[in-house]
Structure 1
Amino acid sequence: MGLLRRKHDDNTPAKTGKTRRVRKLGARIFEARQLRGLVRDPDLQAVDMERQTRRTLIGLWFFLSLGLVFTTAGVQKFLAGDATRTDPLWWAAWTVEPMFAGLLIVILNFEAVILSYGLDPDHEWWYRLKKVLLASTLAMNVIPQITPLLRGRWQEFNLGSAAVHAIIPVIVYGIAEVIPVIQAKRREIMLLIYETADQADDTAEPEPGSEPARSATEPAPAPTSAPVPEPAPAPVPEPVPGPVMPAIRRAPRLPAPILQKVKDARSQALANGREFTAADIQRVAKLSADIAEQVAAEFTTHNGHAFN
């Protein structure tokens, strides 16, 4: 009984060191090891990118809508003038600013699509139309505010109101310009994530000595009969084989952004007077150790010209 009690006392957390804090930290370390592989998964990266972009776009569209409500009221006041609600012009004036904003958004959305493919809308009227839409909205919001100055009624002029009516149209135009850029960059990043993952899968090779798996429906090879022994021919001296050069695996072609980062890392390593290694590549690009070594060997052998 005393021996069991002594053994139980030796297994207490104070004796073994496995306290509650140690067990808690150990559980966190185990969880972090499990998450490390998931975080590098390209599908998870794409989903996270899509979620973050959606949140950003929702916020931008919300504030863009608030700005359009403000500018629509300013444009309506400019066009309607002294007209009353019984006048059709009073109601038609409310549709002018939404029409201008809708045209601008449609143009910029298509611009986002072609920007994601690396193309630029190189046409003079493309830029002219956007400038005309912005200038029209800005003028129709500002002119009613500065009219008292033009008529000499200084007491009716409100500097704060004039500044707000001038700034908000510019902000609305800027948000409309930024939204397509965000959409284009999201597409570029997602394509880059999957392109890097596909290259990593293509360069994966089976382990040495392993045989390709045979499907269950494939028939097993038929047993062959033992060959009949034949008289051995006269020995012929075999030629001495020359030195066999080890096969060098070509490194996979890297996307242009990753290739530029690798070139910059190599230039920095050479400038510091040290050898360019796979560790330098892994610091700037998320590549496996095997692929990083192949890329480093390719740069050392061909000075990076094989990637061009």
Structure 2
Amino acid sequence: MDQDTPQSKAHLWLSPVALGIVALAAVMGWAASFVGLHEYGMTSMTGFGYWTAWLVPATFDGAAFACTLMTYRASIHGRSALRARLLMWGFTAVSSWINWIHQPSLETRLVAAGLPVAAVAVFDIVLLEMRADYEARSGRTKFRLRPGLLVLRWLVDRTGTTTAFRAQITAIPVHQLIGQAAPAEIPAPEPTPTPAPAPDPRSATPAASPAPPTPVATPITEITKAVSKGPKLPPPMVKAVQAAYTRARDEGREFTADDVHAVIKVPADKAEQIAASYSTTNGHALA
């Protein structure tokens, strides 16, 4: 659809206006709760005057509002917001209870108690939409549950849904679940050479001259270029196949599909492809 059409123009301003109206409703609910808590501080609490009574709503409703903002900030940065959300609803419950006890009738109690609850609930929806917009702009997507669709699929295919859900959960790295950076690889300590014992001068037999060091054959690890052209294998399988290929080469025989089957479980045609990719000419791997 063209961007100059009336529907596309309406879509551009409809979402900000809707969020603004919802946020305004939340602010109105907090303002009405402020008035109720201020009245309670003046009439029911000893030692509070007109100005000092504003400390009561500023404490409870202000704390709920601050925890709401902290919930949003923690969410968009990928941190856990459970503690801030619990505190947000805890302060809201205290504010709702104060609004309830200082009203004279049941009807006014219900209205007064619902003011802070409505404000926090509506503002929480606004923060969820703001978080979704932020993730869409920055390209940050997170694993989210859709309970309705999840239950519907589980009713249709219980085994497949359980397997897919378990695979999705186990694919999340542990360092991301606990909020730490990726663990760095610790290099293995180098072995310390042990000095040879000094000859005993009291010995009758002269010490034999040390034998010349036997050259240690450096194992030649050939990473064939044919691996990139052959079937794609995980790194553990590649190491196993390379070890089997080295054994076959040391024994002076041809590397076959039976050697592949001895170390990894793959179909017969794939084993033939792997063996063909490791075929050699004069001891060198073919490109």
Report the TM range for the smaller structure's normalisation.
0.3 to 0.5
**Structure 2-normalised TM-score?**
0.41
Q: Which is helix-richer, 1 or 2?
A: 1
Larger RCO (alpha carbons 8 Å, 6+ apart): 1
**Structure 1-normalised TM-score?**
0.38
